Amino acid sequence: MWSRILKPRVIGRTAFYWRSLFTMQLNTKLFGKHQHELRIAGGAVRDLLSGKRPDDVDFATTATPEEMKQMFQKAGIRMINNKGEKHGTITARLHNENFEVTTLRVDVQTDGRHAEVEFTTDWQKDSERRDLTINSMFLGLDGTLYDYFKGYEDLKERKVRFVGSAEQRIQEDYLRILRYFRFYGRVAPEPDRHDPKTLDAIRENSRGLAAISGERIWTELKKMVVGNHADHLLELMYSLELVQYLGLPPDGNVEEIKRVWQKAKDHSPKPMTVLAALFRRPEEVERMDLRLKVSKEEKTLALFLVKYRQELCKSREEPDSLKPFTDFIIDSRELDTQSKVCELLKYQGEEKLLAELSGWSVPRFPVNGHDLRRMGITTGKEIGSTLQDLRDVWKKSGYQMDKDELLSHVKS
């Protein structure tokens, strides 16, 4: 085992926030009292060592779930969501925060998707079953880092490695292939610093992704496509022949996605805004959805981008004008059209127009059917056609004409 005491400035104030809020109560009064150890685990340690505030802070312990339940009950600490108990996780509720505490585990049997586990008190055994070295560390509540596989060294060198054998870790859960790519984008400073043996293991085990649920795949993929090096990573996934198991088109437009990612990356594109560049036809979006089970909003956005990325563009006569886009939004009358058009501008790399449209509010068309009825227009068909004519006049005025000006057109 390799361990060291980290200075407070290395851990960061965030770690001490969690320590003061949670661990002073639980560790000192409960876990320590019953001779059980408690440490911060996994991704939270990685983030703290990187100077980032973790989204979640998970804990690992030598106590079994039953022992934790007894301790929490005696201390009057509320527990919620017992679904994780069979996997060793108890969720404690303190100060309006949820804290997941998981018993140390070893894998008894794996099928490439799920693992049967048994509990242990061996910290290294638990670390050994984790995916990447940078996710395998523990942080003691006194500031001691417990690092069994040189994860801290890899983190400082911004290197992404599997714990032990890449092939074995992948075969335990094939989703780790995509987790490797996602964390590579998060950690690595350059796009092509992969260990060739790791890529060989990924290629040789890629078929295992076919058995992973679409929802799990999409959870990883959508984080990856908006991360660093996404263009390189997607191209690499094509060269490793992974995409046939992911619902992505076999002849996806890799050059287009590289172009789109470079233009959109600094403008917080939605994952589907980037991924849509791969699709040449709407049918490919439908096949992707069958595999990945994306949300209705995500699928609709992909279809929108595939349809309008060439149809709805800035005017050649007035390249700085928002008018083609604002006219489209007003004609659409759907609540989320402006959001979709903003994603389209990110896709097209129209930075200036995107900034303008983001600050633009949809103006209210000042005329309605009641106004026309008061003027003697009574049939639904005539009201509809008149409103459309007036809407066209209003658009040509730059949405400036008021009700009286528009109704004067009806009188004339």
Q: Looking at the predicted structure, is the pLDDT value of residue 94 above 70?
A: yes
Q: What is the mean pLDDT of residues 165-190?
A: 96
Q: What is the mean pLDDT of residues 176-195?
A: 96
pLDDT at 297 (0 to 100): 97
pLDDT at 28 (0 to 100): 54
Q: How many CB atoms lie within 10 A of CB 100?
A: 16
Q: CA 242 to CA 210: how far, in whole Å?
A: 10
Residue 59 pairs with which residues in a beta bridge?
40, 101
pLDDT at 2 (0 to 100): 55
Q: What is the mean pLDDT of residues 344-365?
A: 93
pLDDT at 209 (0 to 100): 97
Q: What is the mean pLDDT of residues 102-107?
A: 92
Nearest to 255 by CA among 238, 270, 272: 238
Q: CA 298 to CA 276: how far, in whole Å?
A: 10
Sheet with strand 78-80: strands edge to edge:
2-5, 144-147, 138-140, 38-41, 58-61, 97-103, 89-94, 78-80
The sign of the dihedral angle between the CA atoms of 188, 193, 194, 195 is negative
Pairing outcome for strands 78-80 and 2-5: unpaired
What share of the chain in percent tops pLDDT 70? 92
The pLDDT tens digits for 107-166 are 877 766 777 788 999 999 999 999 999 999 999 888 889 999 999 999 999 999 999 999
Q: CA 241 to CA 236: how far, in whole Å?
A: 9
Q: What is the mean pLDDT of residues 336-357?
A: 96
Q: What is the mean pLDDT of residues 338-366?
A: 94
Q: What is the mean pLDDT of residues 296-321?
A: 92
pLDDT at 20 (0 to 100): 44
Q: What is the CA radius of gyration of the chain?
A: 28
Residue type, 151: G
Contact 135, 147 (CB under 8 A): no
Q: Where are the alpha helices (DSSP H) in 225-316?
A: 230-239, 254-264, 271-275, 282-292, 296-308
pLDDT at 403 (0 to 100): 87
Write out 296-310 in H/E/C secondary structure. HHHHHHHHHHHHHCC
Q: What is the mean pLDDT of residues 65-87?
A: 87
Q: CA 113 to CA 187: how far, in whole Å?
A: 25
Contact 159, 58 (CB under 8 A): no
**Structure letter (DSSP) for residue 278:** G
Nearest to 177 by CA among 245, 109, 247: 245
pLDDT class of 9 with cuts at 50, 70, 90: very low
The pLDDT tens digits for 218-235 are 999 999 999 999 999 999
Contact 88, 65 (CB under 8 A): yes
pLDDT at 13 (0 to 100): 47
* DSSP reduced 3-state for 108: strand
| Secondary structure tally for the chain: helices H, strands E | 22, 10
Q: Kindly report the CA angle at 120 between 2 and 113, in degrees rounded to 5?
A: 95
pLDDT at 85 (0 to 100): 86
Highest-confidence range of 4-18, 299-313, 314-328, 330-344, by mean pLDDT? Answer: 299-313
When comparing pLDDT for 412 and 401, which is higher? 401
Residue type, 177: I
Q: CA 126 to CA 146: how far, in whole Å?
A: 12
pLDDT at 18 (0 to 100): 53
For residue 112, the number of C-alpha atoms closer than 13 Å in the C-beta half-sphere is: 13
Q: Looking at the predicted structure, is the pLDDT value of residue 11 above 90?
A: no
Average pLDDT over the chain reads 89
Q: Looking at the predicted structure, is the pLDDT value of residue 12 above 60?
A: no
Q: How many CB atoms lie within 10 A of CB 149?
A: 22
Q: CA 249 to CA 242: how far, in whole Å?
A: 11
pLDDT at 27 (0 to 100): 58
pLDDT at 111 (0 to 100): 67
Q: Looking at the predicted structure, is the pLDDT value of residue 35 above 70?
A: yes
Contacts of 86 (CB under 8 A, 6+ apart): none
Q: What is the mean pLDDT of residues 12-37?
A: 63
Could you tell me the CA-to-CA distances from 79 to 18, 32, 369 in Å, in that order? 18, 19, 58
Domains recognised in the chain with CATH numbers:
1-160 (3.30.460.10), 311-359 (no CATH), 369-408 (no CATH)
Contact 139, 60 (CB under 8 A): no
Contact 228, 186 (CB under 8 A): yes
Q: CA 250 to CA 284: how far, in whole Å?
A: 10
Contacts of 130 (CB under 8 A, 6+ apart): 42, 136, 163
pLDDT at 154 (0 to 100): 96
